[in-house]
Structure 1
Amino acid sequence: MADKEEVPLMQRILDNHFLLLALGVVVPTVLYTLWGIIDIVSIPLAK
């Protein structure tokens, strides 16, 4: 096996458990925060 094939990028990402954990926490947090900000901004001002 003189020719070692390079591991594909997607396989390296999916093999990294800490990266998957971080993405699983960060992505929903950012999305729900943005969703909440958009909801608050869309509330009409009281007169």
Structure 2
Amino acid sequence: MKPGAIQIVDIWFANYKGPDGGMEGLGFEDAESALAVLEAAAENFQATQ
């Protein structure tokens, strides 16, 4: 990963809904954790269709 990329992503999420957008960076985890979140989101989406 490019130097500073994690900080850029964290700043973007913290600010993309405005200064009081309710988003808070909680850090980053590994690819396995990311896949688990994506799979849960996909299952939730399918259940609502």
The alignment's TM-score, normalised by the length of structure 2, stands at: 0.38
The TM-score with structure 1 as length reference comes to 0.40
Higher Rg: 1
Structure with more of its chain in helix, by fraction: 1
Identify which of structures 1 and 2 has the higher relative contact order when contacts are C-alpha pairs closer than 8 Å and 6+ apart: 2
